[in-house]
Structure 1
Amino acid sequence: MACQKFQILGAGSYGTVFLGRLSSSTSTDPQVFAVKSSKLESSRSLRVEGRILNQLRGCPYIVHCFGDDTSLEHEEVVYNLLLEYAPGGSLESLIKSRPGNIMEFEVSFYAYQLLKGLEEVHGWGLVHCDLKPANVLVFPCGCGVNRLKIADFGLAKPSGVNIFGNCHRGSLLYTSPESLVSGMHEAPKDIWAIGCIVVEMITGNPPDAFLNIASKKPEIPEGISNSCKDFLEMCFARNPSTRWTAAMLLNHRFVANEFNLLLGKKLEDHHQVNSPFGFEGWSSTTCLFSTRIRACSSRPSASNQPVLFHQKMKTVILGH
């Protein structure tokens, strides 16, 4: 099986995301997927993300990962995560396309889905640590609203384990007071981010409370329902020990309404991710995206590519 990367979808600190397809696919059956790639020597965060996504596989509110791959691409050893493709882009792009024009009932359903995803993440004893609209993927479902899935677990960590020291990690616009001031990165940090995302969906702009985060919390938008105001108050409790959990917020009247519960159940019952690779579970593969080596006097020919690949792998992994 051979695959191709043919379009860049985005780039971040830990990798570049491409649109990929099987080399055997046709214009009528493109079998596209997303590929998150990084040079092998700098792929630690991406490999951690792959293990986490494998652990969370099957949750309707978490992006699906088909497996990983290590390829020799343009004479570089590259690590790839094979992910489902989100045709609707990110929640960030959705908000920018409709600034301040996402209706409250729709915001409620999106908050419901994010909380369902976080409930799963936190239930596994994990903290996302970088929840923001750019890390939420959009899947149009043909019912007037969209399915959302949490993605980008490059900064995720086990709960109760301090792997960042006292340093802040994640995006400042969505950070919590205890994360910025004390370097505390636990589940309440993700809940604060949910509040920030809800504000951004309503207003079109993220809250700017991080500028004065030591002394105040984000401003609650005007013109919203009392239930939405109360929901945000629970997300923005300054003391992380009194901030509501994902499970508690799922019972809040802002999201625990008949529309959300019925549509959420429908999406869950019809959740299916079709693998373009012929396998439904996790698969670790090699050389899906390998490219031919340019033959010249100073470089090996294409026929020597497998030998060169293993030599480069040994150099990267063993350091010699």
Structure 2
Amino acid sequence: MCRSSLSSFKMRTKLKPSFPEGSKTERRKLKRIFKELSKRCSLSDDGINRDQFLKFTDLSGLLGEQLFNSLDEDEDGKLDVKEFLNGLILLYKGTFEEISEILFKIFDFSKSSHISSNDILFILSYLPKFCPKCKKRLVVAWDFKEKIQELFEDREYIHLEEFKESIEIKNEIGELIFQCIFNSLPVVIDECFLQKKLICENLENFTEGKLIYNSRDYYFLLKNKSLYFAPSKDKLVNNPVGVIYVNDLFVEGSEGNRFILKNSKFEYTFEAENLEQKEKWIGAIKSETGFKEFYIDYETTETIGKGAYGEVKLGTNKHTGNTVAVKIISKEPLDARSETRLRREINILKIIKHESILRLESVYETANELFIVTDYISGGSLFTWLKDREFSIAEIIARKIIKDLANALLFLHTNGIIHRDLKLENILIETDKNGVVKPILIDFGLSCMLAPHQCSQESVGTLKYAAPEVLSRIPYRESVDLWGLGVISYILLIGRMPFYGKNDQDIATRILKKPIDLEGENFRHISQGAKEIIKGLLTRRPANRMSLNALLEHEWVLQEDEGRTDKITAD
């Protein structure tokens, strides 16, 4: 990890209050960056939305979300120019008092003016594993829980003033979090405040020269994933007239000596002095942004699936020979909500690793397309797999699938991730060399990340699997996934949907009111333990619904299947 005096609380105690000043030069540079990022957001008013901020800062998970929330003072879901400038000035130049308040806001998920030890532990679980700047692994020599316990001193909650007193002396947690934040902020921001230190990741990789831009001659300098420009070279260092952040843009050649920097919403056109200079700039920008060409690393063959915004193809990794699935998505038809869900799914897949959750291999991107490369699961969806067996499988197989899914959900919930769209189509079936089946959970486009005490009221998911609290718009957390698992368990064990009707209103009414009856001739083949699982998961009151821990400790789930491997195979 990079080390910086900026994260030192001891240094911060010596500073005088900076808010809301900052030098004119710093504010001028920050305004240029704000203007550049705001242009990407397509908002009715100037501002930087959450997605653009997270992309710009390279902070994944709840740490990035909470940093954004701490800067968004009016809570309107975007940073205006004042919030952006003042927030960054406080981060870089704020006193101990000022940065302690930012840190407290990051921990205060519920905005209740007090925080718990679980709030801090949750943020620590989302710290980046590697430093984006030096690429070194995050190594912490102390135990998170021990340091949190020292900070709280047996208190259940602490308020801001108590937090300030404790964090000034026991500062390891605070300094670690701020170090991760500064390591994730782009170097172009560092340069606004630390110009005298000549901030640059690689001094040998400067590319400079003249280009025509907006019908005028400018002198350009490419460094720190940004293009700085000015009318002359001597003005470029101290007084550039503009900066273009290139890290999330894509470069391609155009006619003559021209080349284009673009994304799916807008583009910049430049003209070099000659073809040699044009190719030099294109190569330099690709190198600076770390651009990867998908078809150099992979080849694709047949289409194995289609969706609203693209298709899924069978592919091969040219370096390993492994078969993969490639979701190719066209950006052009994506609206803001769809793109947000897509980015959220990618971010979640990047941070979760579990044997029953689809593994993300890599992501490639161009101005117009996204390539999401995952493991290829040959068994198809659980719906197709059950349909091929006329929705009739042995209870021992159903138990294996339910247990594996419960373990996957427990892993997700422990990390604050709620799937919110559990259904047969979002589960793939993998069969090992012995024929033993294993479910693989996919599609996190409707998922959300919730910290302790946070709830959601979004009405998302698929109606036939929707929990009563979703239909009633009651605040919910993990309970909606437990209900979804209950619906899937019912189908696995009984062979049909528990709730159906002539139309959506009829289905919703049955979900809210129809009792779960598992008695009678049609249910004789189901064991008492399996019935208890179904009833427990399909309990309408979320507070009374069976938990994942209770499910995994239930005697029906814990039954030993030794010597019966042949009976939990696919056929």
Number of the residue aligned with 1:199: 490
- Decide whether aligned partners of structure 1 residues 205 and 10 sit closer, same or farther in structure 2, where only a CA change above 3 A counts: farther
Number of the residue aligned with 1:171: 462
Matched, 1:213 2:530: no
* SS of equivalent residue, structure 1 residue 182: coil
Give 1:60 deviation, angstroms.
Answer: 0.9
Number of the residue aligned with 2:364: 69
Number of the residue aligned with 1:247: 549
Can you list the C-alpha shifts for 1:121-169, whole angstroms capped at 9, x where unaligned? 1010110000111111111113343111111111000136566xx5521
Q: Which letter maps to 2:351?
A: Q
CA distance in 1, matches of 2:360, 2:468: 32
Q: Which has the higher contact order (CA 8 A, sep 6+)?
A: 1
Number of the residue aligned with 1:127: 418
CA distance in 1, matches of 2:379, 2:373: 18
Can you list the C-alpha shifts for 1:264-308, whole angstroms capped at 9, x where unaligned? xxxxxxxxxxxxxxxxxxxxxxxxxxxxxxxxxxxxxxxxxxxxx
Q: Which letter maps to 1:214?
A: L
CA distance in 2, matches of 1:14, 1:177: 30
Give 1:111 deviation, angstroms.
Answer: 0.3
CA distance in 2, matches of 1:207, 1:39: 37
Give 1:30 deviation, angstroms.
Answer: 5.5
Structure 1 residues 220-299: aligned runs within 5 Å:
220=518, 222-223=523-524, 224-259=526-561
Number of the residue aligned with 2:428: 137
2:347 corresponds to which of 51, 76, 79 = 51
Q: Tell me, yes or no, if the aligned pair for 2:348 and 2:444 is still in contact at 8 Å.
A: yes
CA distance in 2, matches of 1:144, 1:259: 15
* SS of equivalent residue, structure 1 residue 138: strand
- Any gaps of 5 or more consecutive residues in structure 2? 1-295, 501-506, 566-571
Number of the residue aligned with 2:316: 21
CA distance in 1, matches of 2:467, 2:414: 20
Can you list the C-alpha shifts for 1:232-267, whole angstroms capped at 9, x where unaligned? 11101111011122122111122122229x98xxxx
CA distance in 2, matches of 1:184, 1:94: 34
Tell me the TM-score normalised to structure 1 length. 0.72
Number of the residue aligned with 2:449: 158
CA distance in 1, matches of 2:330, 2:536: 41
Larger radius of gyration: 2
CA distance in 2, matches of 1:256, 1:136: 23
Q: Tell me, yes or no, if the aligned pair for 1:208 and 1:218 is still in contact at 8 Å.
A: no
CA distance in 2, matches of 1:122, 1:250: 14
Give 1:14 deviation, angstroms.
Answer: 5.9
CA distance in 2, matches of 1:218, 1:184: 23
Q: Tell me, yes or no, if the aligned pair for 1:49 and 1:153 is still in contact at 8 Å.
A: yes
- Decide whether aligned partners of structure 1 residues 45 and 167 sit closer, same or farther in structure 2, where only a CA change above 3 A counts: closer
* SS of equivalent residue, structure 1 residue 17: strand
- Decide whether aligned partners of structure 1 residues 6 and 30 sit closer, same or farther in structure 2, where only a CA change above 3 A counts: same
Q: Tell me, yes or no, if the aligned pair for 2:516 and 2:535 is still in contact at 8 Å.
A: no
Q: Tell me, yes or no, if the aligned pair for 2:455 and 2:477 is still in contact at 8 Å.
A: no
Give 1:184 deviation, angstroms.
Answer: 4.0
- Decide whether aligned partners of structure 1 residues 246 and 198 sit closer, same or farther in structure 2, where only a CA change above 3 A counts: same
Can you list the C-alpha shifts for 1:182-201, whole angstroms capped at 9, x where unaligned? 25442111111111111112
* SS of equivalent residue, structure 1 residue 258: coil
Bigger shift: residues 29-38 or 123-132 = 29-38
- Any gaps of 5 or more consecutive residues in structure 1? 264-320
Number of the residue aligned with 2:388: 97
* SS of equivalent residue, structure 2 residue 558: coil
Number of the residue aligned with 2:325: 34
- Decide whether aligned partners of structure 1 residues 151 and 88 sit closer, same or farther in structure 2, where only a CA change above 3 A counts: same
CA distance in 2, matches of 1:248, 1:14: 39
Point out 4+ residue stretches in structure 1 off by more than 4 angstroms: 160-163
Bigger shift: residues 222-231 or 35-44 = 35-44
Q: Tell me, yes or no, if the aligned pair for 1:217 and 1:238 is still in contact at 8 Å.
A: no
Whose helix proportion is higher, 1 or 2?
A: 2
Q: Tell me, yes or no, if the aligned pair for 1:38 and 1:79 is still in contact at 8 Å.
A: yes
Q: Tell me, yes or no, if the aligned pair for 1:66 and 1:82 is still in contact at 8 Å.
A: yes
* SS of equivalent residue, structure 2 residue 324: strand
Q: Which letter maps to 1:222?
A: F
CA distance in 1, matches of 2:356, 2:554: 19
Q: Which letter maps to 2:512?
A: A
Can you list the C-alpha shifts for 1:67-90, whole angstroms capped at 9, x where unaligned? 211136xxxx11121110001111
Name the Cα RMSD after superposition.
2.4
CA distance in 2, matches of 1:183, 1:225: 33
- Decide whether aligned partners of structure 1 residues 180 and 12 sit closer, same or farther in structure 2, where only a CA change above 3 A counts: farther
Q: Which letter maps to 1:254?
A: W
Identical positions, percent: 27
CA distance in 2, matches of 1:85, 1:188: 30
CA distance in 2, matches of 1:11, 1:204: 27
Q: Tell me, yes or no, if the aligned pair for 2:486 and 2:538 is still in contact at 8 Å.
A: yes
Q: Tell me, yes or no, if the aligned pair for 1:250 and 1:256 is still in contact at 8 Å.
A: yes
Number of the residue aligned with 2:156: none
Q: Tell me, yes or no, if the aligned pair for 1:38 and 1:46 is still in contact at 8 Å.
A: no
CA distance in 1, matches of 2:476, 2:374: 26
CA distance in 2, matches of 1:106, 1:151: 20
Give 1:207 deviation, angstroms.
Answer: 1.8
Give 1:38 deviation, angstroms.
Answer: 1.8
- Decide whether aligned partners of structure 1 residues 134 and 185 sit closer, same or farther in structure 2, where only a CA change above 3 A counts: farther
CA distance in 2, matches of 1:100, 1:116: 23
CA distance in 2, matches of 1:13, 1:248: 38
- Decide whether aligned partners of structure 1 residues 33 and 183 sit closer, same or farther in structure 2, where only a CA change above 3 A counts: farther
Tell me the TM-score normalised to structure 2 length. 0.41
